Structure 1
Amino acid sequence: MAKKIMVTGGTGYIGSWVVKELLERGHIVKLTVRDKSKEEKYNFLQEIANQSPGELEVYEANLLKFGSYDEAIKDCDTVVHMASPFILDVKDPIEELVKPALEGTENVLASASKAATVKKVILTSSVAAIYGDAKDMQDQGLNEFTEENWNTTSNKDHQPYPYSKTLAERKAWELHDKQEQWFLAVINPSFVMGPSLTKISNSESLKFMSDMLKGKMQVGAPDLVFGVVDVRDVAKAHASAVEMEDVTGRHILSNKSVSVLEMAEAVRIESDKKYKLPKSLSPKWLLYIVGPLFGINSSFVKKNIGYPLRFNNSKSIKNLEIDYRPFNTTMKDMVEQMEENNMIKN
């Protein structure tokens, strides 16, 4: 049965795949955008809708304008809230990250509570709300991170992006616990990779891959480990959370943990060795010196370089029925899409 779903952040790198998945499953998607007149930012989703059994409606709303989601949310039974800035190079973390993430969540969930029809909210959080630095795993005596863990080490000055995601998710749970109208299911993706549906994107994932392909890490990769998940698997997880009535709580999405060097090796294999990719590790002491050139400060180097990182993804496999696609396929498809759309620029 088709659901009416208000989706925030649906034009972004992750969000567009979620919208596509929902449309292809026959749902009615009420997409919110900041400026409806900028049709170039969502036209590609209308084209997808035209070829799908689902329907797309576009509304104007703003994370920081209280009540602006009230119109879009009318008659919806589900809300998928993805809109939240993912920026690593920030000058004012409170204004650029924390305020839109936190106040935006309050704004959207207030509208959900006003609309009596809403029965479920899907929040796109992050593993950044589960841990702040790779060193946390060792400091907490853990073998892996699970949904039980919370980030307690980030703040506005150290790891402001994880800090913003943690505050926003905690606020969502706080608001959830104060009412009985809607259930909350949270998706906590690790580093999202894979092809983009749009050329218009400032995704940090695409920027990271572009930097690697352009040879910025050729002299040596940082000894840094990420949990990685395919953007298409993230979309399926959201759709499963929408459709499965009994899905609630947090869900880590991570296919596997890989180092930057392993990412480079996967790209090398899948792209016929045509890029200047790193073949060795950059020493940690060197990163203290050159890190600032890449937006990496000494505190990040100290707490993340050289540490293992592992996530338990069993809940996503069991509850959301995610069958993670091979990591090399993710890398291959991402590089091919970026090549086709001329997104690797010097």
Structure 2
Amino acid sequence: MILSPVVLTGATGYLGSHILTQLLEKEYEVRITTRSLAKTQKEELILKLQEKYPNKLSIYEADLLEEGSYDDVMKGAKSLIHTASPFKIEGIKNPKKELVDPAVIGTRNVLNAASKGDIERVIQTSSIVAVYGDAIDVEMIEGDAFSEKNWNATSSISHQPYNYSKTVAEKEALALSLTSTWSLVSINPGFILGPSLTKRTDSTSIDFMLNLLNGKMAMGMPELYFGVVDVRDVAKAHIMALENTALKGRFICSNKSMTMLEMSNILRQEFGKAYKIGSKVLPKFLFYLLGPIMAGLSWSYVKKNIGIPLKFDNTRSKEELGMEYRPVEETILDHAHQLINDGILKK
């Protein structure tokens, strides 16, 4: 099956830029979409890639919430990687408008356009939070690790709205695939870290890494667990799923479960006292008292997540996709050095 041209949404984002770069390195013809053609045409990474890969990268203007705006980019394309969706967990004022509508309506508009064109293969970026809502959900499943058979059944528009948005968006894609000619794979990454290809800072992952290094956690941190995965590995997983057309369904893409303290310890070994890196965990009761004020953590979130270990079964990604995950130490340190080298993090 000839999979090129590939339509890629969210191509200038943290993950999307890695997918774009890897696709071009493999000599795919790629069409990317943006809400602002004028702005994207001037972005440093896009200009570099267009120069390095002449006639391989084209840009189309489209809006997730505008029905029909993706019709043109799909014409003549053979495959689609849909990554565009907001990743926002703090400062949310209107969850439906900021998260759910762009995720669900956007998915519907993009995939309906794919069905009108010649698309044969769709890879959707979902999330591990479409598998579970809170860490305490582990009490409801068989075994001690979440797998692809689990679905988030506890998040809502009022509790964990980002998690809810990813769950309903993945289900929307699955429903549309049942009546379409294209085949679907959903990639469910854990918490994505690793070096960014741009100097943008509007990413929850980048903000998280900055907080580990800039002193925000110097007095202590919550005992929270994350299924860490490298952004470069997640990008690779999308392309492997694109090319192995026999595969369908969901793939958890997570390397290793770690606490914030374990990640901080890796950073401290590398940087010593150069940065104010936290070295202790604060007791859970303090977050009941101060969490809503200092960190925006609701009592419900504290109760259902802090101090509860998380495990994820990544067997399918390794055995069927063929994923080999790079060491988490490499992921964390490469990310930190990128922030320093790009001048985003200052001593």
TM-score, normalised with respect to structure 2:
0.96
Q: Which residue of 2 aligns with 1:23?
A: 24
Deviations, residues 53-112 of structure 1 (Å, cap 9, x unaligned): 881100000000000001111111101110000011201100000000000000001001
Q: Which residue of 1 aligns with 2:87?
A: 86
Q: Which residue of 2 aligns with 1:95?
A: 97
CA distance in 2, matches of 1:15, 1:239: 12
Q: Which residue of 1 aligns with 2:268?
A: 268
For 1:218, give the aligned amino acid: A
Does the 8 Å contact 2:224/2:307 carry over to 1?
A: yes
Does the 8 Å contact 1:22/1:54 carry over to 2?
A: no
Q: Which residue of 2 aligns with 1:212?
A: 212
CA distance in 1, matches of 2:26, 2:182: 22
Does the 8 Å contact 2:257/2:312 carry over to 1?
A: yes
CA distance in 2, matches of 1:306, 1:164: 25
Q: Which residue of 2 aligns with 1:303?
A: 304
CA distance in 2, matches of 1:165, 1:220: 30
Q: Which residue of 1 aligns with 2:203?
A: 203
Deviations, residues 188-218 of structure 1 (Å, cap 9, x unaligned): 0000000001112411000011111111111
**Residue pairs, 1:20-59, within 5 angstroms:** 20-39=21-40, 42-52=43-53, 55-59=56-60
Q: Which residue of 2 aligns with 1:242?
A: 242
Q: Which residue of 2 aligns with 1:222?
A: 222
SS in 1 for 2:38: coil
Does the 8 Å contact 2:6/2:29 carry over to 1?
A: yes
For 2:200, give the aligned amino acid: I
CA distance in 2, matches of 1:140, 1:323: 27
User: Is 1:231 the equivalent of 2:257?
Assistant: no
For 1:339, give the aligned amino acid: I
Deviations, residues 99-128 of structure 1 (Å, cap 9, x unaligned): 00000000001001101x110110000001
CA distance in 2, matches of 1:2, 1:121: 10
CA distance in 1, matches of 2:256, 2:42: 32
Q: Which residue of 2 aligns with 1:123?
A: 124
**Residue pairs, 1:134-145, within 5 angstroms:** 134-145=135-146
Q: Runs of 5+ in structure 2 lacking a partner?
A: none
CA distance in 2, matches of 1:118, 1:86: 26
CA distance in 2, matches of 1:208, 1:289: 22
Does the 8 Å contact 2:132/2:153 carry over to 1?
A: yes
Q: 1:128 to 1:41 in 2, by over 3 A?
A: farther
For 1:324, give the aligned amino acid: Y
Displacement of 1:271 in angstroms is 2.5
Which moved further from structure 2: 188-197 or 320-329?
A: 320-329
SS in 1 for 2:206: helix
For 2:227, give the aligned amino acid: G
CA distance in 1, matches of 2:44, 2:3: 22
SS in 2 for 1:38: helix
Task: Calculate the aligned-residue CA RMSD, in Å.
Answer: 1.5
CA distance in 2, matches of 1:276, 1:100: 37
User: Is 1:164 the equivalent of 2:165?
Assistant: yes
CA distance in 2, matches of 1:22, 1:343: 27
TM-score, normalised with respect to structure 1:
0.96
Deviations, residues 228-270 of structure 1 (Å, cap 9, x unaligned): 0000001100111112221211000001000010010111122
Q: Which residue of 1 aligns with 2:108?
A: 106
Q: 1:299 to 1:337 in 2, by over 3 A?
A: same
Displacement of 1:40 in angstroms is 6.3
Does the 8 Å contact 1:26/1:54 carry over to 2?
A: no
Does the 8 Å contact 2:3/2:78 carry over to 1?
A: no
For 1:97, give the aligned amino acid: L
Does the 8 Å contact 1:2/1:26 carry over to 2?
A: no
Q: Which residue of 1 aligns with 2:11?
A: 10
